[in-house]
């Protein structure tokens, strides 16, 4: 479980393809603090460390992960990183599982009075998961939705987040990983189940 507060960025050093999965070797500032079997969020995708040395570690993405996220990375790709949350600390962002629901497409990037507005297009089926002032995890970053429209939402990025994550490398048309708020998903599921029961009662 994560919070969506990015600790650091890492760089993809090597990509090895093996059948329907990819092995990524990554370099980051806290590699020497990691251990094999530990889960780390990479652009919002929870991946498990399979090997490491003092400077680099390796994670594996299977076919289902490659199909539902944007992590078909190449060497030199910069990724957002967050280690699993500690239960004795503050929850600075929101509850993030590291299970990406879908990808969105960047529609626009606008620099506006000290913040950066990013609008992202989503599939119609996810409209129920976005609300004004609600939380969303985008490329592993906990963000607040400024505006929610049919099949589109906008988030406002502060300069610190813009520069200390990989968001400043985004361009219009890029895919971003999206994880919708788990509490909202549970509420929506309960409401759907209740409607089904009432309709069949």
Query: pTM higher than 0.75 for the full model?
Result: yes
Quick one: pLDDT band at residue 89, thresholds 50, 70, 90? low
Domain 8-83 CATH class label = mainly beta
Give the CATH number of domain 102-183; options: 2.40.30.20, 3.90.480.20, 3.40.50.10320, 3.40.50.300. Answer: 2.40.30.20
Q: What are the residue ranges spanned by the domains of the chain?
A: 8-83, 102-183
* Average pLDDT score over the chain: 91
Q: How far apart are CA 44 and CA 100, in angstroms?
A: 7
Q: Does this chain's domain 8-83 share its CATH topology with 102-183? A: yes
Q: How far apart are CA 105 and CA 6, in angstroms?
A: 21
Q: What is the pLDDT of residues 22-70, one digit of tens each?
A: 999 999 999 999 999 999 999 999 999 999 998 999 999 999 999 999 9
In the chain the beta strands, taken as DSSP E runs, fall at: 8-18, 21-27, 39-42, 45-52, 56-61, 78-83, 102-112, 115-121, 135-138, 141-149, 152-157, 175-180
């Amino acid at each position: 479980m994560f919070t969506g507060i990015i600790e650091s960025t890492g760089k993809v050093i090597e990509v090895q393809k093996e059948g329907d999965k990819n092995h990524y070797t990554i370099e980051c500032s806290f590699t020497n603090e990691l251990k094999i079997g530990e889960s780390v969020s990479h652009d919002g995708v929870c991946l498990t460390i399979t090997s490491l040395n003092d400077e680099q570690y390796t994670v594996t993405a299977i076919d289902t992960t490659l199909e539902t996220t944007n992590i078909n990375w190449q060497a030199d790709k910069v990724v957002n990183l967050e280690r699993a949350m500690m239960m004795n600390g503050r929850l600075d962002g929101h509850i993030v599982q590291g299970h990406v629901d879908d990808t969105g497409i960047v529609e626009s990037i606008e620099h506006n009075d000290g913040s950066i507005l990013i609008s992202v297009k989503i599939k119609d089926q996810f409209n129920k998961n976005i609300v004004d002032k609600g939380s969303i995890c985008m490329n592993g970053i906990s963000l607040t939705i400024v505006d929610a429209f049919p099949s589109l939402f906008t988030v406002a990025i502060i300069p610190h987040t813009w520069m200390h994550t990989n968001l400043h490398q985004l361009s219009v048309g890029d895919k971003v990983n999206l994880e919708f708020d788990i509490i909202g998903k549970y509420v929506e599921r309960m409401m759907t189940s209740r409607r089904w029961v009432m309709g069949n009662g």
